[in-house]
Amino acid sequence: MRTIYILWIRQLKRFIRKRASLIGALGQPLIFLIAFGFGLSPVFARAGQGNYIQFIGPGIIAMTILFTSIFTGTEVIWDKQFGFLKETFVAPVSRFEILLGKTLGGATVAAIQGILVFFITLAVGFRPHSLVMLPLALLYLVLIAVLFSAVGVAIAARLEDMQGFPLIINFVIQPLFYLSSALFPVQGLPKILGFITTINPLSYGVDGMRYALSGSSHFSPWLSLGVLSAFLIAALAVGIYQFRRIQL
């Protein structure tokens, strides 16, 4: 447990030092909220779907968490190149603890940014459906952060090239985001897009958060929790398998 705590704190310290990256991470969701939220709001309203800001708000929060958490893997590659990971591996601790510490550290950073973006959505007009449901929204937020932080760490465990990691991750996160329900409703999609959306774990995170914040959902909130939990267990299992194969 001490190793998990140390790695978690180390990740938070890196986050605090990188104030510029924090500002950049908040700039992208703000642009999405203004460009998409206000730009497509009249079209969304004429289609009888209501207020687009209310719809897109949870999706933009999830987008921020996704982009931040999955890039936790860059810290793993950085630690490989500068020898910190080797020092950690020779310590009398399990590699699962190391994986969990890095995953939770990255997830905490992503969750903090997600909460900050939630306040930004309030500034542009988003209003939660019920304050009582905010703890449930926080649960979905944390699950998304931990899941995709684990995915980022698992992918980075087998990579050595710092330049190659962003290319692979962008290939993963762009389809995850755009083929989730973050920007458009799931109902009425062509069959192939509907199927892809259904097997996309981010769809369940966005839908669960939308249920908690806006009161509407496509999937059952219990189903969303179950799917996110199942993907999280699978990501951690793959991550520990990859960590055990690392040769330093």
pLDDT tens sequence across 181-239:
888 888 777 888 888 889 999 999 999 999 999 888 888 899 999 999 999 999 989 88
Q: CA-to-CA distance for 181 and 210, rounded, in angstroms?
A: 10
Q: Which residue has the higher pLDDT, 209 or 1?
A: 209
N- to C-terminal Cα separation, the chain? 23
Q: What percent of the chain has pLDDT over 70?
A: 81
Q: Which domain holds residue 119?
A: 2-244
Q: CA-to-CA distance for 194 and 190, rounded, in angstroms?
A: 6
Q: How high is the mean pLDDT of the chain? A: 81
Q: Residue 4 in contact with residue 104, Cβ under 8 Å?
A: yes
pLDDT tens string 65-83: 998 888 887 777 777 776 6
Q: Check whether 92 has a pLDDT greater than 70.
A: no
Smallest Cα–Cα separation from 149: which of 88, 104, 91?
104
Instruction: Tell me how many domains the chain contains.
Output: 1
Q: How confident is the model at residue 145 (pLDDT cuts 50, 70, 90)?
A: very high
The amino acid present at 126, given as its one-letter code, is F
Q: Check whether 3 has a pLDDT greater than 60.
A: no
